[in-house]
Structure 1
Amino acid sequence: MANKSVFATMAGKLLPRTDTRNHEGAQAYSLSPRQALAQLAATGTFNATFYAGAREQLTEVLELAWQVEPEFLAKTAVFAFERGYMKDMPALLLAVLSCLHGDEFGRAFPRIVRNGRMLRNFVQVMRSGATGRKSLGTRPKRFVQAWLEQASDVEIMRAAVGNEPSLADVIKMVHPKPTSAARAALYGYLIGKPHDVLALPELVKAFEAFKRDPSLPVPAVPFQMLTALPLTREHWVAIAETAGWQMLRQNLNSFARNGVFEVEGFAERLARRLRNPDEIRRARVFPYQLMVAFTTADAAVPKVVKEALQDAMDVALANVPAIDGRIVVCPDVSGSMSSPVTGHRQSATSKVRCIDVAALVAAAFLRANRTARVLPFEQAVVEIDLNPRDAVMTNAARLAAIGGGGTNCSAPLERLAQEQAKVDLVVFVSDNQSWVDATAHAHQGTATMQAWNKVKLSNPQAKLVCIDIQPTTTTQAKGQADILNVGGFSDQVFEVIATMARAETGADHWVEQIEAITV
């Protein structure tokens, strides 16, 4: 008789063989170069995560970038900047493009380098030698010069905030040719060379005058250029009144410390801006950014301002779809999810953890779909009773408070299979590094695929979406018609899930999105 442990009858269709291992050494499925690059373009931060170091991520991206054609690489760089709201990733991909023949670099550069920060990011990547060279080269140098020449005085001053490299370093590297006396004076001012003070732009004159006499109106320079000065409460009020939406969100505690909210009516005015739908959309705010602003706001920040942040969350999550059918959301609450969502950085490490993002996605889905079922998991499913009428922040906080244990992505699916539950859509939010349920042999598939196969016996039309919120090139569920792997944690992920539920997308959604971009 044949060995039943090897040749046992498998329920449902034959599972695909695994072809790689994840960071925990467990069986997994590798993504194609296009799929993997698309995933990393949406999630890559080049900071140390729980499983992967920054250098390891960089190596993975570079290896993938050389494996795809330049046109797809250019589209991916634009996608990472315009859709993924990334900064380092598009700069790196643009640097790779600069080493290739063809016009893809020239077409992608103006789509990505649209502000001074991206200009400095690009130059930093080029100088680092990450792509094999430590100089800009003739073509990149020409594009950097062109950006400096067409930028307004305000854009130049904004670009002057930051180092490594500083804008002065960039100017010294590329030697832009000023087309006016004012721009010649501005370049000299920024790099510390002799210049015609009278020819300086009015903005710079106002800044220098304010430094000498703080009783003058606060100049419209980036507020980072002012904070080293002895500012009064009135100065801070003026700064707050002209600040961009993201700057307001990020500096609520600073405003409180400097007495801004003591001014009658100012808290209400600031709250109106924070909850303004048009400003929120223009700011391209991530929902998790609102979460961290809300949770880190000091007691001195007025209640009306904190309530405005909750209203802003409702706007940011307005595209969380109400999906017909039976939905199950499975947030990963294992120990590895305690890692900062954007990785460990030398400074300014995000206080938002992966588990916070997973909890936020689950709570948002529950709010929009009141009958949805939430199955948090680590080594096993964690029992929790959430009220769909509670605020997203409240339920997210309850889920994020669980934490701990190993990662077992198959646990929720095994629960559904045992119950023979009726489901139409299952959504996972995880770092995708399952190991508790590791299978021994490649031909067995992963435990996640085995469990999903069991769920499909009772629910042949069901679909599975796996949101991977940190960079990876492997998955526990192989992409196919009923399985979508999604990289990233921006609010656009919700629309991707709705599209999958409507059967309007397939396993290669991100690749299809990138291909649709015109560069």
Structure 2
Amino acid sequence: MRFNFFSRAAAPVVNHEGAPAFALTPQMELYAAVATAALSDQFYEKADVRLLRLRALVAANEPLFVARLAVYAREHLHLRSVPLVLCVELARHHRGDGLVSRLVARVVQRPDEITELLACYAQANGRSGPKTLHRLSKQLQKGLALSFNRFDGYQLAKYDREGAVRLRDALFLVHPPAKDAAQQALFDQLVRGELPTPYTWETELSAAGQRAYATEADRHAAIRTTWEALITSGKLGYMALLRNLRNILAADVSAVALAQVEATLADAQAVARSKQLPFRFLAAYREVKALPGGRVAGVLTALETALAHSAANLPGFGPATRVVVACDVSGSMQQPISARSKVLLYDVGLVLGMLLHSRCQHVVAGMFGNTWKRVALPRGPVLRNVEEFYRREGEVGYATNGYLVVQDLRQRREAVDKVMIFTDCQLWNSQWDSSNSLAREWAEYRRTVAPHARLYLFDLAGHGTAPLEVRPEHGVALVAGWSDKVFDVLVALDNGGSALTEIEKIEL
């Protein structure tokens, strides 16, 4: 299957700022919307509007493409909620074969995703609570049954949480046949609410904190001992470690335990297995950096090393490759990626941009708002460079004059190979001068300075439009997402593929 970037007769439209833009094809629009979906209110688009757009796009695309995209989002982009939305919507539109059941069994990788999928199904079909789900799609039911068979007692107990739909409810709805007597015993325990309390870092710390102590110093010592035991046991997952660095440092764990924390954080294989999105490291870095004391430096260094592993083998950027990395710092980029996160779209763009910067030997980096400003930075320290950008973002204002990046290159007569723009793609000229736009500047730059230059738009919001026509013959490509996997797309593009090439490879 091949997918074009745009319809050859794509008519110009306008973006959320009222500036001329180009609409994406249904495939590219769904890809961009999924890769950037937090399913929470954004600057330009409310969560319910994004959800409705996702539903319409699923209906407008071929079922196999939707299924492949859902697997890609779960297994490569490490997203959890939006693949479940795709499963539910695909079940509403596609029948007659086992595609949906295979997809559900592939996408559901944790027990709590069973209940989340059922809650999503209830909402999509105007129902509420487990008792209204008796008419569950047969293909969803079959896929969930296969998922149930994969989980052991520890996993079921760990993720048996309060909610509109409990795992017990799901068991009654799905009726998964047990694969053996041992699993049937687990299912019976789940029904009776008798699954053993799992050993997790949460339960261990909760138990330590709830005991009676003679003094507060004794309580602190017990919590420190518990953290040390969790660290040395190897049972503290990478995500839990990343999210609890402040607590671990506050507990004043031993030098040996802290050294193990730093070694685990910086271990390349542990980073790969953890499937953490790059901006998670920035969030941890900021939490730790704000702490007093002399033990912080080693943890910050470990976080730098961890993030560097994300782009350690980025091909296509040799010593002779001339690259421009431009980060959008406009007002719409100062938006949290989700209601519970302190990380902004702007942060995501900076992290990805500085990851790229760290691997390029001939690179110009900068930021644009009202103006475009080049910023000289050392190659290597990704998180420290992000913080330097963050400190200086007010120096260029908060408009979205992305055309200035290319205009500057044209006026300098500076030929480069690749221009990378990290943005929400809602670019416009704050002077309302239609003679200056990214589309015009790029065409002129390629005509007069660098005929073989390529422009890569890293779409961090997925609003369905681009500021110029994305076509290989124009040297323009669009990449979407918050993961380091966006760099895999660059490889596909350099080899003549598209942003959808990796999705096409998914087998179901």
TM range (shorter): 0.7 to 0.9
Q: CA deviation at 1:222?
A: 3.1
Q: CA deviation at 1:304?
A: 2.3
Structure 1 equivalent of residue 484 of structure 2 = 491
Structure 1 equivalent of residue 441 of structure 2 = 451
Q: Does residue 513 in structure 1 map to residue 506 in structure 2?
A: no
SS, match of residue 427 in structure 2: coil
Of 28, 52, 57, the residue aligned with 2:45 is: 52
Cα offsets for 1:453-501 (capped at 9, x unmatched): 111021111100000111221111211111101111211222323443x
Amino acid at match of 2:387: A
Structure 1 equivalent of residue 313 of structure 2 = 319
2: CA distance between counterparts of 1:438 and 1:168? 59
Of 247, 256, 261, the residue aligned with 1:265 is: 256
Of 115, 120, 128, the residue aligned with 1:120 is: 115
Amino acid at match of 1:385: V
What does 1:170-181 correspond to in 2, within 5 Å? 170-176=170-176
Asked if structure 2 preserves the Cα contact closer than 8 Å seen for 1:157 and 1:221, the reply is no
What does 1:294-333 correspond to in 2, within 5 Å? 294-297=285-288, 298-299=291-292, 302-321=296-315, 322-323=317-318, 324-333=320-329
Q: CA deviation at 1:26?
A: 1.7
Of 129, 134, 148, the residue aligned with 2:124 is: 129
What does 1:74-153 correspond to in 2, within 5 Å? 74-99=67-92, 100-101=94-95, 102-129=97-124, 135=133, 136-153=136-153
Structure 2 equivalent of residue 356 of structure 1 = 347
Amino acid at match of 1:158: K
Structure 2 equivalent of residue 334 of structure 1 = 330
Cα offsets for 1:164-189 (capped at 9, x unmatched): 43323423443555566765564455
Cα offsets for 1:263-287 (capped at 9, x unmatched): 3411111211111111111112222
- Stretch of structure 1 that moved more, 175-184 or 143-152: 175-184
Q: CA deviation at 1:385?
A: 3.3
Structure of higher RCO (CA pairs closer than 8 Å, 6+ residues apart)? 1
Cα 1:25–1:130 shift into 2, 3 Å? farther
Structure 1 equivalent of residue 280 of structure 2 = 289
SS, match of residue 478 in structure 2: strand
Q: CA deviation at 1:161?
A: 4.3
Q: Does residue 253 in structure 1 map to residue 243 in structure 2?
A: no
Q: Does residue 398 in structure 1 map to residue 388 in structure 2?
A: yes
Amino acid at match of 2:370: Q
SS, match of residue 91 in structure 1: helix
Of 267, 277, 292, the residue aligned with 1:276 is: 267
Of 20, 43, 57, the residue aligned with 1:64 is: 57
Amino acid at match of 1:476: P
SS, match of residue 420 in structure 2: strand
Asked if structure 2 preserves the Cα contact closer than 8 Å seen for 1:319 and 1:495, the reply is no
SS, match of residue 485 in structure 1: strand
Q: CA deviation at 1:29?
A: 0.4
Structure 2 unaligned blocks of 5 or more: 1-7, 210-221
TM-score by length of 2: 0.84
Of 178, 198, 221, the residue aligned with 2:199 is: 221
What does 1:175-190 correspond to in 2, within 5 Å? 175-176=175-176, 183=183, 186-187=186-187, 189-190=189-190
Cα 1:132–1:477 shift into 2, 3 Å? farther
Task: Give the RMSD, CA atoms, in angstroms.
Answer: 2.7
Cα 1:229–1:427 shift into 2, 3 Å? same
Structure 2 equivalent of residue 432 of structure 1 = 425
2: CA distance between counterparts of 1:64 and 1:224? 40
Structure 1 equivalent of residue 4 of structure 2 = none
Amino acid at match of 2:107: I
2: CA distance between counterparts of 1:392 and 1:150? 39
Q: CA deviation at 1:339?
A: 0.8
Cα 1:504–1:364 shift into 2, 3 Å? same
1: CA distance between counterparts of 2:204 and 2:292? 26
1: CA distance between counterparts of 2:503 and 2:249? 43
2: CA distance between counterparts of 1:467 and 1:131? 36
2: CA distance between counterparts of 1:79 and 1:131? 28
Structure 1 unaligned blocks of 5 or more: 1-14, 208-219
Q: CA deviation at 1:46?
A: 0.9
Q: Which runs of 4+ in 1 moved over 6 A?
A: 131-134, 438-441
1: CA distance between counterparts of 2:406 and 2:446? 10
SS, match of residue 359 in structure 1: helix
2: CA distance between counterparts of 1:39 and 1:161? 32
Amino acid at match of 2:334: S
1: CA distance between counterparts of 2:349 and 2:327? 5
1: CA distance between counterparts of 2:126 and 2:304? 43
